[in-house]
Amino acid sequence: MIKVEGLHKHFGGFHAVDGATLEIKTGTITGLIGPNGAGKTTLFNVIAGRLPPTSGRVIMDGEDITGLPPHVLFQKGLLRTFQIAHEFSSMTVRENLMMVPPRQSGERLWNALFSRGQIAAEEAQIRAKADEVLEFLTISHIADEKAGNISGGQKKLVELGRTMMVDAKIVFLDEVGAGVNRTLLNTIGDAIIRLNKERGYTFCVIEHDMDFIGRLCNPVICMAEGKVLAEGTLEEVKNDERVIEAYLGT
Q: Which residues are near ligand ADP by CB under 6 A?
A: 11, 14, 16, 34, 36-42
Instruction: Find out whether 192 and 171 touch, Cβ atoms under 8 Å.
Output: no
| Element containing residue 189 per DSSP (H, E) | helix 182-199
Min. distance of Cβ 59 from ligand ADP in angstroms? 21
Q: Tell which residue, 104, 163, 103, has the closest CA to residue 133.
A: 163
CA distance 172 to 225: 21
CA distance 228 to 22: 7
Strands 2-11 and 78-80: unpaired
Cα of first residue to Cα of last residue in the chain, in angstroms, is: 32
Give the residue with the Cβ less far from ligand ADP, 20 or 93.
Answer: 20
Residue 223 CB, shortest distance to ligand ADP, in Å, is 7
Smallest distance from ligand ADP to CB 72, Å:
22
Of residues 134 and 222, the one with the C-beta less far from ligand ADP: 222
Are 176 and 205 contacting, i.e. CB atoms less than 8 angstroms apart? Answer: yes
Of residues 37 and 152, the one with the C-beta less far from ligand ADP: 37
Q: How far is the CB of 11 from ligand ADP (least distance, A)?
A: 3
110: amino acid identity, one letter: W
Q: Which is nearer to ligand ADP, 21 or 90 (CB)?
A: 21
Q: Maximum Cα–Cα distance for the chain, whole Å?
A: 64
- In the complex, minimum distance from the CB of residue 186 to ligand ADP, in angstroms, rounded to a whole number: 24
Q: Which is nearer to ligand ADP, 14 or 110 (CB)?
A: 14
